[in-house]
Structure 1
Amino acid sequence: MADEAVSLIHHVELNIFKQFAAITHKHHIHYIALGGTMLGAVRHQGFIPWDDDMDVGMLRADYEQFLKVTSDDLKDTHYFLQTPWTDENYALSYSKLLDRNTFIEEKNNVNNARKGVFLDIFPLDKIPDSPARQRRQILDMRRLDSRIYLKLRYNVIDNPIRKFQNPLSEEQVETADDFKEQREAVMTMYNDKPALTNVKNLASQYAYDKEILSLDELNDIVNLPFEDTEIRVPADYDAILTRIYGDYMELPPENARTEKHIVRLITDNQEFEL
């Protein structure tokens, strides 16, 4: 059953990605595959078989352009662009393109934001060269993350009382929005510094140094096969994947080949437990 569910998730995610790629192509917006999606393209020419999400990234200017144009392009579709501003209950610092014809529950992530199979879309922001300033930026961002998660009632486990809670008050939403604006200011504080040449997905799950990218790496892009389509990756993907994973062509042990995020999927009136 789990294998069938992961195959269904891959099928939905691939269609989401194709919608995303069509929008970026139409508007000349640049993106790259990140993390496990880049690894999947290189090692498997598609999804890592046991993975259950897709990650892409964009320089902040492209990211903002994508957010601006997408609402028109998604009209009359079953997709929803979830951002800190389109879903008041959504606490994360990046965006998700959701399939509204699906519903999911995620591991260790209980909240009232909209749910569906998704594509993660991360902004890539400039970072300072100074390690001390790097630490200050990421700590300030994480402090604001924590405040937003608390305000929007994000929990690791479900609480039966949650269903009886009142919706967020106008004051609570405004406070959360203020924290979101502060967080974005922290994330983008170095983007106007021409001398800085490194960017980072500040919401990355990896250790800080592992997913730092140079602007040169982002300017040299190739297309790789990904299932029945193609995906953009930096031409120097070998160096990037080695930084993140070490010997990335070696498969992990079988007991580590498990889904990371989704524990329940509902689609086409069918329910799957992963």
Structure 2
Amino acid sequence: MEVEDAMTDSVINLIHEVELNIFKQFRQLTSTLNINYIALGGTLLGAIRHQGFIPWDDDMDVGIPREDYERLLDLAPNILKNTHYFLQTPWSDSNYALSYAKLLDRNTFIEERNNVNNARKGIFLDIFPLDKIPASKERQRRQILDLRRLDSRIYLKLRYNIIDNPIRKFQNPLSPEQLQTAWEYKRQRQDTMTQFNKRPNLTVYKNLASQYAYDKELFTEDQLTNLIDLPFADTTIVAPADYDEILTNIYGDYMTLPPENARTEKHITRLIMDNQEFMV
């Protein structure tokens, strides 16, 4: 068991090294394009509690207000075209069903737990858009229900599954008509996410693709503009100066480590890079 744990730790460290390089590429993009971002969720927690990655975590999360997020999606592909990075979005990968972007290292291939699909795969950085939400609880409820309904339709149309099915490899590729239907659902989903952004009276933003409960990952305008640099591994990452309130809202007593049996927030189960295969 100790040998297995040591092997797993070494693979996680390798994943962290690749993710850190992806993040540095992302940070260069945001600097070039004069775009503000913030660390989110476990990445923000890691920066505060560990000055880097949470040791057992295997991804990085950042957020960008929608207007700058769309500018990144528009301009970054041209900057990245001669690199080994790919900006995966609902529009750049027709088989990709999620509502946010990923910056992938194309020199790697991964398989993820409970996530079987035909989208492009690689070690990644998650890039979430941050959108305004309505003040009314009923409108909030309606928006999130609409998003879940559209997510379900897209996942079904693009054949996302929890477990692999041997029959999957014998299925025909999706037809142009099926991909067009998925594209229309994606457009409806984006319209649902962005419907309140033009309302100046609304001042609360949310990561609408968040894994946390609805009221956990919310941000005020001040939290998105009053930013600081924090140490993160061998570099720095941008975070809201009011990180304590944000992390307390999500995790409660965030400086206390969880019990050992809960230190398992791993997404990646298989990694291929440098012509080697690693199981996590």
- TM-score of the alignment, normalized to the shorter chain, above 0.5: yes
Q: In the alignment, what sits opposite 2:195? A: 189
**What is residue 222 of structure 2 aligned with on the other side?**
216
Identity, in percent, stands at: 72
Letter in structure 2 aligned against 1:52: D
SS in 1 for 2:103: strand
SS at match of 2:216: helix
Is 1:272 aligned with 2:278?
yes
Q: What's 1:241 paired with?
A: 247
Residue from 256, 265, 268 that aligns with 1:250 = 256
1:42 maps to 48
1:115-138 Cα distance to aligned partner (Å, 9 max, x none): 000000000000000000000001
Q: Hey, what does 2:94 align to over in structure 1?
A: 88
The residue type equivalent to 2:252 in the other structure is: G
Which ranges of structure 2 fall in alignment gaps of 5 or more residues?
Answer: 1-6
Q: Deviations over 1:185-221 (max 9, x none)?
A: 0000000000000000000000000101111111100
Q: 2:224 and 2:93 mapped to 1: Cα distance?
A: 30
What stretches of structure 1 of length at least 5 have no aligned partner? none
Partner residue of 1:162?
168
Poorly superposed stretches of 4+, deviation over 6 Å:
none
- Alignment partners' CA distance in 2, 1:174 and 1:154: 17
Match of 1:152 among 153, 158, 171: 158
Match for 2:60 among 51, 54, 59? 54
- Which of 90, 97, 107 aligns to 2:103? It is 97
SS at match of 1:19: helix
Separation of aligned partners in 1, 2:152 and 2:78: 33
Partner of 1:11: 17
- Which residue, 216, 228, 231 being the options, matches 2:234? 228
Taking the aligned partners of 1:69 and 1:30, their CA distance within structure 2 comes to 15
Shift of 1:75: 1.7
Bigger shift: residues 64-73 or 112-121: 64-73
User: What number of residue pairs does the alignment pair up?
Assistant: 274
Which residue of 107, 112, 116 maps to 1:110?
A: 116
Q: CA deviation at 1:259?
A: 3.7
1:72-129 deviation per Cα after TM superposition (whole angstroms, max 9, x unaligned):
1102110000000000000000000000000000000000000000000000000000
Answering whether residue 148 of structure 2 is matched by residue 142 of structure 1, we say yes
Alignment of 1:15-34 (within 5 A): 15-34=21-40
Secondary structure at the residue paired with 2:64? strand
1:41-76: per-residue Cα shift (whole Å, max 9, x none)?
001110001000000000000100111110111021
**1:260 Cα deviation after fit:** 2.3
Matching residue of 2:70 = 64
CA RMSD in angstroms, aligned pairs only: 0.6
Partner of 2:213: 207
Aligned to 2:179: 173
Partner residue, 2:3: none
CA distance in 2, matches of 1:28, 1:199: 20
Using structure 1 for the length normalisation, give the TM-score.
Answer: 0.99
Is structure 2 residue 280 aligned with structure 1 residue 260? no
